[in-house]
Amino acid sequence: MIKPGSKILLLEKEIQKLKKLVYLDALTNVYNRRGFLELGRNCFQSFREDTGKRRKNGITSLALIFLDIDDFKKINDKYGHRRGDRVLKQLAKFLKLTLRKTDLLGRWGGEEFVILLVNASKANAQKIAQKLCQLTARTKIAGLHLTISLGLIIPKKEKTLAIIINKADKLMYQAKKQGKDKVITL
């Protein structure tokens, strides 16, 4: 017979498993789009509050990076999708190890990732984005040398996280058009 208190414990464990399924990308084990948006919106709302409340909740600045692996289709075409999946897994792991504990990393879709830099000044956010770009180019990931293109935005008067993500995505495409393996900042 199961004790009433243990039923609650079992239910809580099941809820945690379900949250993991709902919010984490199964391949890369980072937040999926839904998980990123849920947590990112909470951070953004805290950031948008007045200055006094911002200090109280601990979020004084934000920056968002939209990142895409350059020429990923060529990797899949040349080496196959299993190798492409390894690239995605290892890049996600590399990004998690390189980013700060306070940063939020998510897989947006395909070979695109989003990163919310919490409490990073504009100068610090630019350093982080450049570091990611340079380290990725110098590091073998799944046995391959990759490059990434990044769009970095420092929110000013944008009213939603979706607007910020869209702007960072456009900046990333500018980086691709300008030769890839670079960061474009707004």
Give the catalytic positions in this structure.
111
Rounded Cα distance, 98 and 134, in Å: 12
Rounded Cα distance, 34 and 18, in Å: 13
Rounded Cα distance, 149 and 70, in Å: 6
Q: Reduced to 3 states, what is the DSSP secondary structure of residue 78?
A: helix
- Dihedral over Cα of 94, 162, 55, 130: its sign: positive
Sequence-separated (6 or more) residues with CB below 8 Å from residue 58: 46, 119
Task: Say how many C-beta atoms besides its own lie within 10 A of residue 82's C-beta.
Answer: 10
Rounded Cα distance, 103 and 21, in Å: 21
